[in-house]
Structure 1
Amino acid sequence: MPDLDPATTALLTVECQNGVVGEESALPELAKEARDSGMLARVAALVDAARGAGVQVVHAVAERRPDGRAANTNARLFRAAGRLPVRQLTGSSAVEVAAPLTVAEQDLVVRRLHGLSPMAGTDLDALLRNLGVRTLVVTGVSSNIAIPNTVFDAVNLGYQVVVPSDAIAGVPASCTAEVIRNSLALVATVTTAEALLTQWAPAR
């Protein structure tokens, strides 16, 4: 396990927002998996424990302008998202962090208007470097697309990456295990939410 010194570690939640994993999700199958598997509750527990241990919490949110200006259209996923009944529009409830997660005053919220990863074309890397972060714990959705993109981008930027395997989700559920085994485990340290909670517990 990489060094999880609170001074150099951040916990990142990826797309844990109402319009993705909330009750009125644009992606109900993914939202159901995130909730029924207990993933969202585990991420919420990790967020609370991280704060208690002095670990910086960052929420990465995907959104788009109501007019769609500057949004990607170069993949089926982006074009389909523009036709969904629930859209991740700036300023709407869909782009608010979903319960049971909370956003505390000391948390950072990083929003992106394009792409597949919160690490690309946003302030995230600069903010983490300004904080002295060297290890990034990645949680959230989805293991199909955004999580692998985030992990690869973070590794390419020189971060040590930790992935709690039961604090990410995708569809079908079997996809998550395959992505972890065949991709993420090759570049990141794979652990569990419980192991991180135990490590952070003394400081809580």
Structure 2
Amino acid sequence: MPPNDRPSHDPPLRDRSLPDRSLCDRLDPAGTALLTVECQRGVVGEESALPELARQVRESGALERIARLTGAAHRAGVQVLHAVAERRPDGRGSGRNARLFRAAERLPVQQLSGTPAVRVAEPVPVAEEDLVVRRLHGLSPLAGTDVDALLRNLGVRTLVITGVSANVAVPNAVFDAVNLGYTAVVPADAIAGVPAEYTAAMVRHTLALVATVTTAAEVSACWEQATATAPEQPT
């Protein structure tokens, strides 16, 4: 048999114009939630307490991708949760057992409850059905908050994690989600940290070991496909 006529045992190439079927199965809107981590004005906004991080999340396009992902989630019926970190003006309940916490107390912009700093930052849309979960302590959006109970009550098994920072809160969220039995999905271009190269290293050497790493465009494509194929609701 001539070499060119030998049967190939290589898998067929996937049509890159179509979303990955296995990923889309994992992201079924009925069992999936989107989590935005600390996408609040006082962190990623123009008047951020952490200007270097805010600059990175905006200049990299991550914040815009998070906004588009959130819109796609709304259209597909995917539950959206916004995790916000804040503290009371008197500091009650907040930890001081880490250098990060003590440094935050001295920053010119404070993440105080009820202030504009703890509102979800533009351009991330917030719909009426979204859940905003606030925490006064700790490093994770899941540990010690209502997120786990809310997700279980909603029948969620897959959690798409976006936001900041890749240095602390995002990896904490991924690890906690996995430890609690959820499938974690990380759109690598919808998270940010400082310096920029640290985010890439964190994703490659750590998060990829425990989470499904993908892109915001691929997640959106799955949800857009689900929206297009969903049966029409009776009026």
Q: TM-score range by the shorter chain?
A: over 0.9
| C-alpha distance in structure 2 between counterparts of 1:134 and 1:186, whole Å | 19
Residue 45 of structure 1 corresponds to which residue in structure 2?
A: 68
Compute the displacement of 1:42 (Å): 0.1
| C-alpha distance in structure 1 between counterparts of 2:219 and 2:174, whole Å | 18
| Identity value in percent | 71
Off by >3 Å, runs of 4+ in structure 1:
none
2:98 maps to a residue whose letter is A
Q: Which runs of 5+ in 2 are unaligned?
A: 1-22, 229-235
The alignment yields a C-alpha RMSD, in angstroms, of: 0.8
TM-score, normalisation: structure 2:
0.86
Match of 2:145 among 93, 107, 122: 122
Please give the secondary structure, in 1, of the residue aligned with 2:26.
coil
- 1:8 maps onto 2:31 in alignment: yes
Please give the secondary structure, in 2, of the residue aligned with 1:185.
helix
Residue 82 of structure 2 corresponds to which residue in structure 1?
A: 59
User: What is the CA deviation profile of residues 61-120 of structure 1, one whole-angstrom value per residue up to 9, with x for unaligned ones?
Assistant: 000000001111011100000010000000000000000012110100000000000101
Instruction: Count residues in correspondence.
Output: 204
Residue 132 of structure 1 corresponds to which residue in structure 2?
A: 155
User: What is the CA deviation profile of residues 119-144 of structure 1, one whole-angstrom value per residue up to 9, with x for unaligned ones?
Assistant: 01110000000000000000000000
Match of 1:98 among 121, 134, 141: 121
| C-alpha distance in structure 1 between counterparts of 2:26 and 2:212, whole Å | 11
In the TM superposition, 1:1-204 aligns within 5 A as 1=23, 3-202=26-225, 203=227
Larger Rg: 2
| C-alpha distance in structure 1 between counterparts of 2:210 and 2:125, whole Å | 29
Compute the displacement of 1:197 (Å): 1.3
1:201 maps to a residue whose letter is E
Compute the displacement of 1:59 (Å): 0.3
TM-score, normalisation: structure 1:
0.99
Please give the secondary structure, in 1, of the residue aligned with 2:113.
coil
| C-alpha distance in structure 2 between counterparts of 1:100 and 1:61, whole Å | 16
